[in-house]
Amino acid sequence: MTPKTVLVVDDDPRIHQLLAAVLATTAWQMESAFDGDQGLARVEARPYDLVLTDIRMPGLDGLELMRRIRQLRPETKVIVMTGDSTTSDVIRSLRDQAFAYFSKPFSAATLRDMLAKAAKSPSEEGDIEVLSATPEWIGLRVRCRVDVADRVLQFLRELKMDLPEKQREEIAMAFKEMLMNAIEHGGRLDPAKRIYVSYVRTSRAILYHIRDPGSGFSLEDLPHAAISNPPEAPTEHLERREELGMRPGGFGILLVRNLVDELIYNEKGNEVILIRYLQEDREAS
C-alpha cells in the first residue's frame, strides 16, 4: 500500500514535535510547514492526502489556507486545529468542507482515530452539507455513513454551550446515539441517503433535531428495545433481539431519556428532538 501523506502547518515547533510522535505509530508520512504561506507553497508543489493546519498563524491563516487548498486540491482532506476556538471558526470550517475540527489540547488517541477515518473515507464532497449556519441555528444534511456521524459529532462538540463538562458529554452521548439510530435504522447505512440534523441554541436550552429518510416506528411497538421491557424483566428485549438476529444492545432510547431533559418523537417516528435546558432553567424546573 502507498503510504498516506500529511502536511502539518503550524507556527509552533512544539506542535510539529508532538504530531511527529503521534504519527510515528501510524502509516502516515509527515511533512512540515511553519506558516500558511509556506503551507500553500507546499500544496501547490505536490498533492497531500491530508493537511493538518492551525488557524492563527502569521500571514495566511489556516481557514484561508483551507479555502485555497479546496480550490487547488479538492481531493485533499483538511483537519483544522486551534488553541483559540470560536463558534464562527467552527461554522466556517463546516462551510468550507473541513474533514474535522479540534481545539488544542487534544488527545493523541482522538487524533489517531480521526486520521484513521480520513485514511479510509472516500475523497468526495457532500458528506456534510451546510443548510443553515448561525451561532443559534446550524442545519446540516449528512451522508448516511457511520464515519460521517463521528465527524458531525466532533464539530458539534466544539460549539460553545455554557454547560459543565459532564453535561456536555451527556448531551453528546445522547446526540450520537440518536444519530446512529437514524443512520442504522432509518437510513439503512445507505450512503446514497441523507440525514437532516439541526443544532438550535436558545437563551434557555440546547436542542438537537434529527430527521431520517426511513418509514419511522412506534415507541409502543419496540419489543427489541429496552424501553419496552416490563419493570420485572429489564433484559427481556435481549431475547427478542437474539430471535431476530440483531446485534446485542437496544438500550439507546432508554439511555438517552436519562441523559436529556426531554426526548420528543414526531407521529411517524422518523424525527426526534433532544432538549437540554441550561443550568438556571433546570434548577428552576
Report the CATH number that the domain containing residue 262 is assigned in CATH.
3.30.565.10
Q: Is the pLDDT of residue 185 over 80?
A: yes
Q: CB-side exposure of 258: number of CA atoms within 13 Å?
A: 6
Same domain, 76 and 165: no
Instruction: Dump pLDDT digits (tens) for 224-257.
Output: 555 555 666 666 555 665 666 655 555 567 788 8
- Domain total for the chain? 2
Asked whether the bond before 223 is cis by omega within 30 degrees of 0, the reply is: no
Q: What is the mean pLDDT of the chain?
A: 88
3-state secondary structure of 212: coil
Instruction: Dump pLDDT digits (tens) for 77-95.
Output: 999 999 999 999 999 999 9
**CA 275, CA 258: separation in Å to the nearest integer?**
12
CATH number, domain at 65?
A: 3.40.50.2300
Same domain, 136 and 186: yes
Q: Is the pLDDT of residue 265 over 80?
A: yes
Q: What is the pLDDT of residue 2?
A: 72
Q: Which residues contact 233 (CB under 8 A, 6 or more apart)?
A: none
Q: What is the pLDDT of residue 160?
A: 82
What's this model's pTM, rounded to 2 decimal places? 0.86
Q: Which residues contact 210 (CB under 8 A, 6 or more apart)?
A: 175, 178, 179, 182, 195, 196, 197, 198, 271, 272, 274
**Is residue 37 within 8 Å of residue 62, measured between CB atoms?**
no
Q: What is the pLDDT of residue 195?
A: 97
User: DSSP code of 144?
Assistant: S
